[in-house]
Structure 1
Amino acid sequence: MQLHDVWFVLIAVLWTGYFFLEGFDFGIGVLTRLLARDRAERRVLINTIGPVWDGNEVWLLTAGGATFAAFPDWYATLFSGFYLPLLIILVCLIIRGVAFEYRHKRTEERWQNGWEQAIFWTSLLPAFLWGVAFGNIVHGVAIDQQKNYIGGFGDLLNPYALLGGLTTLLLFTFHGAVFAALKTVGDIRTRARAMALRLGLVTAVLALAFLTWTQVHRGDGWSLAALVVAVLALLGALAANQLAREGWAFILSGLTIVAAVAMLFLSLFPDVMPSTLNPAWSLTVSNASSAPYTLKVMTVVAAVFTPLVLLYQGWTYWVFRKRIGVQHIPSGQPAGPAGPAAPAAPAAES
């Protein structure tokens, strides 16, 4: 295996980690309007991700930076051709971060409601648009002989990509519902499990349709194996959720995302952006990669710093592992970011 193949795998791992972690972040944001009944419950949901949401976005920055350094032609074609949807995602992520920090600065109803609406929409739109973007990457786009995307924004809104967007939106929201059940106590925990069941059933139908379409279009034996794992993991997550085994449900819903994203990258390889105009014009791991020396330096840096990042992020999740509920929200206090959950909260089930 050559270094450009190794970096394709590493970039796939980074995107998979981002969707696994940011997936339940987006899901929680969407659930602030679908699951929470009042401001206290919305604060509980936001507090479940308060200590970790910004750390989860590091995976996106690393994935983007690694793509730029390891595959500059892929990065250039992707970010120029998909400029508008990626710009919308970037703006949403900026507003979303501001909303988390600003919503508790004032106690007025209009102020807090406005920022809570922002959290909902800036979670929903990226969850949908990431599926559209990766659907187009796998399906292929109009790339000419000079490696330039020559299509328009409307070309990106094809049926396959839109189905991919709906799939990621529902899958992330289901993942968020399972996470909410894992991290809360009381009535909101029970309703999160019930919503996870409903979301999971719809997600299963859409995900099976999208992944089957992917397999028929570009799949091989490896991608078929990933498809089977994704389906079995989703069914297992639904079963664990019904048994109130939230820890296992979360692991299995995360495995569903991991297997689904792995299938997309397995279907894509050795291309990184297929051309629908001429297969010979497709960007591949070999013709879109950096020089071997650059990849060697990147490999050394990644080997040193990746374990440190994983250890720090794992420590963060361990520190903030307790469940929370509305009883832990001080009445009459500004709805600020979460601190560690109250010691009295029971440990999460597995």
Structure 2
Amino acid sequence: MQLTDVWFILIAVLWTGYFVLEGFDFGVGVLLRVLGRDDTDRRVMINTIGPLWDGNEVWLIVAGGATFAAFPEWYASLFSGFYLALLLVLVALIGRGVAFEYRGKGDTARWRSTWDTVIVVCSVVPALLWGVAFANIVGGVPLDADHEFVGSLLTLLHPYALLGGVTTLLLFTLHGAVFLSLKTDGDIRVRARALAVRLGVGAVPVAAVFLAWTWLDHEGPVALALALVAALALVGGLLATTAGREGWAFTLTAATIVAATAFLFTSLYPFVLPSTIDPAFGLTTTNAASTPYTLTIMTWVAAVMTPVVLCYQAWTYWVFRRRISRSHIPTPAPTHEAPVGEHA
């Protein structure tokens, strides 16, 4: 196996980790006003992801940095062709972080309600656009002989890409609802579980259509196996949620995202960005890669630092593993909320 293949796999792993971990973050944000009947409920929901959301975004930063260093041609073509979409994602991620921090800085219901709306919108946008982006990456975009994107924003908004966006939005929202049922207690836990069942009923057929459409365009036994694993895990997660097995439900929705992301990268290989104009114009793991020397240095750095990062993040999840309920939120609420990440 060549280093270019190793780094393609590592980038796939980084995106998988990001979608699994940030996926439930997005889901919690999307559901903030749906499950949060009052300010106390919403504070409970925010506190479930308070210690985790910023650490989860590290996976995105590392994935972007690894793509830039290992496959600079891929990075350049992505950011030139997907510039507006990625800018919207970046603005949403910034707005979401600001909203988490500023929500508790005001004393009025209107202030908190405004930032709640920001959290919802800035969770929906990336959850939707990541699916649109990856559907375009797998399906291909118009690249010319110089590997330059020659389309427009509307070029990226075709039915397959929009279906990909709806699929990720539903999967992440379902993942977030299951996470809330696992991390909360009391009435909000019951409502989160019931909502997860309804979301699962909608997510299963949509995801099935997207997986089938993708496989028909990129046939292969490994891809088919991964698609079946993703579908079975999603159905299993729905059944586990219905049975009240929250730990299994979360594990299976996470497995769904892992298998689906692996399916997309498997369908993509050996390309990293196919061209719809001419397959010869597409970017592959070979013609988009950095020099062997650069990849060798990156491999040694990754071998040393990756275990450290994984251990630290695992420790964080272990420390903040307990359930949160309304009893952890003082009533009446203090003038300023506890900082995000602390159980008030």
TM-score (norm 1): 0.96
Q: How does 1:74-223 map to 2 (within 5 A)?
A: 74-223=74-223
1:165-223 CA distances to partner (integer Å, 9 max, x unpaired)?
00000000000000000000001101101000000111001000001000001131111
Equivalent position SS for 2:104:
coil
Q: Please say if 1:3 is aligned against 2:37.
A: no
Q: Which residue of 2 aligns with 1:50?
A: 50
Q: Percent identity?
A: 63
1:37-72 CA distances to partner (integer Å, 9 max, x unpaired)?
111111111100000000000000000000000000
Equivalent position SS for 1:272:
strand
Distance 1:149 1:302 in 2: 31
Q: Which amino acid aligns with 1:335?
A: E
Distance 1:77 1:281 in 2: 12
The size of the alignment, in residue pairs, is: 342
Aligned partners of 1:105 and 1:336 also within 8 Å? no
Q: Which residue of 1 aligns with 2:62?
A: 62
Equivalent position SS for 1:226:
helix
Q: Which residue of 2 aligns with 1:345?
A: none
What is the alpha-carbon root mean square deviation over aligned residues?
1.0
**Residues 45-54 or 232-241, more deviating:** 232-241
**Residues 240-249 or 143-152, more deviating:** 240-249
Distance 1:340 1:148 in 2: 47
1:62-102 CA distances to partner (integer Å, 9 max, x unpaired)?
00000000000000000110000000000000111011001
Distance 1:90 1:299 in 2: 28
**Residues 128-137 or 242-251, more deviating:** 242-251
Structure 1 unaligned residues grouped into runs of 5+? 343-350
Q: How does 1:259-274 map to 2 (within 5 A)?
A: 259-274=259-274
Q: Which amino acid aligns with 1:256?
A: T
Distance 1:340 1:273 in 2: 42
Distance 1:75 1:271 in 2: 13
Structure 2 unaligned residues grouped into runs of 5+? none
Distance 2:218 2:249 in 1: 30
Distance 1:298 1:272 in 2: 19
Aligned partners of 2:226 and 2:263 also within 8 Å? yes
Distance 1:22 1:48 in 2: 13
Distance 2:249 2:235 in 1: 10
CA apart distance, 1:305: 0.2
TM-score (norm 2): 0.98
Q: Which residue of 2 aligns with 1:335?
A: 337
CA apart distance, 1:24: 0.1
CA apart distance, 1:245: 1.2
Distance 1:341 1:117 in 2: 22
Equivalent position SS for 1:327:
helix
Q: Which residue of 1 aligns with 2:293?
A: 293
Distance 2:342 2:38 in 1: 22
Aligned partners of 1:319 and 1:340 also within 8 Å? no
CA apart distance, 1:118: 0.3
Q: Which residue of 2 aligns with 1:32?
A: 32
